[in-house]
Amino acid sequence: MSQTSSGIVVKQAGPLALVQDAGRFGVRHLGVTQGGAADWISFRWANWLLGNPLDSAALEIVMGGGLTLEVERATRLALAGADLGATLDDQPLAPGTSFTVRSGQRLVFRQPLAGLRAYLAFPGGLDAPEVLGSRACTARERLGGLHDDGQPLIVGDRLTWPGKAAAERQLPEGLGPRMPEPGCRLALVPGAQIAHFSGASLYRAFNMAWRVDNRADRMGVRLTGPVLRCSLPGMVSEGIPLGAVQVPADGQPIVLLNDRQTIGGYPRLGALTPGACASLAQCLPGSEVRLAPLTPSQAQEAHLRQLRAWKS
């Protein structure tokens, strides 16, 4: 990527703005995690709005925090996911839309009004080095991102893209991403160790509310609530899928997300569905959620139904 070509320049860096794509697959045997957009549904809709391939690299913006981008050349961008109080030259920008920008304009993301992560898509996807088949930015492994160091955007970074401005496109009615409501239900497919949890623990797990703890990032989200007890004295570490719900000794579940470790040895209730992972990635600390058991076939049908939305 040429740093001298015109594009969009970072004038003020927010707390966490990362280049993300669909993720890095086929490399977990190397100890390299998946990465990719935490709310993969909003990420795909942002790309859909521009007519991009759905896995094109985009910008994942967490919290907003004053991230300020200055436009150097006219184009059309798309925004989906959380409402972070975004403005273009002080005019509000609604998520779930594409919009034209002109040279000299400033795009600012302030603070969460609904949800936690917004996705900004560019024509043809963001330019960034491809590492192990992906441009996804993973801080822990120092892989991917604008400079292949796994770091978020900093002041002076320049964003460029290979495509041309696309025609305006609107989200299909009723199919766009929705931010989770208080008490939202997170679908969970029970796992191999669920029979080792006490009956009382399983009742509490699926019939009581949980709160998203402030100990939450792209690796995982801790849920606080009733204490869960498991009879297993120990486990050999095993592969960890997206959404795995591990229960350590303190009985408080940890939901593992995109930047999780590749193996783990805590017993698991099961795993959240991909759609539930996307919802959890938009939950602010303190949000109330509930776990809802789902069979594998029900989870598969829900996932296929979501994938069909982009073919409409």
pLDDT of amino acid 234:
77
Does residue 180 surpass a pLDDT of 90?
yes
Q: Enumerate residues 6+ apart whose C-beta is below 8 A from 236.
A: 265
Does residue 1 surpass a pLDDT of 60?
no
CA distance 308 to 271: 22
Report the percentage of the chain scoring pLDDT > 70.
Answer: 98
CA atoms within 13 A on the CB side of 150: 12
CA dihedral sign of residues 35, 40, 42, 46: positive
DSSP 8-state class, residue 42: H
pLDDT of amino acid 160:
97
Does residue 4 surpass a pLDDT of 60?
no
pLDDT of amino acid 3:
43
**Domains assigned to the chain:** 8-159 (no CATH), 184-309 (2.40.100.10)
Pairing of strands 288-293, 184-190: parallel
pLDDT of amino acid 143:
94
Q: How far is CA 233 from CA 101, 120, 230, 256, 292, in A?
A: 58, 46, 8, 22, 26
pLDDT of amino acid 2:
41
* Across 75-99, average pLDDT: 97
Binned at pLDDT 50, 70 and 90, residue 202 comes out as very high
Name the nearest CA neighbour of 106 among 33, 37, 10, 207.
10
pLDDT, tens digit, 9 for 90 and up, residues 118-146: 999 999 999 999 999 999 999 989 999 99
Report yes or no: 255 and 283 within 8 Å, Cβ to Cβ: no
Question: What's the pTM?
Answer: 0.95
pLDDT of amino acid 227:
97
Name the nearest CA neighbour of 82 among 306, 281, 285.
281
Binned at pLDDT 50, 70 and 90, residue 6 comes out as confident
- Phi and psi at 212, nearest 5°, equal -75, 120
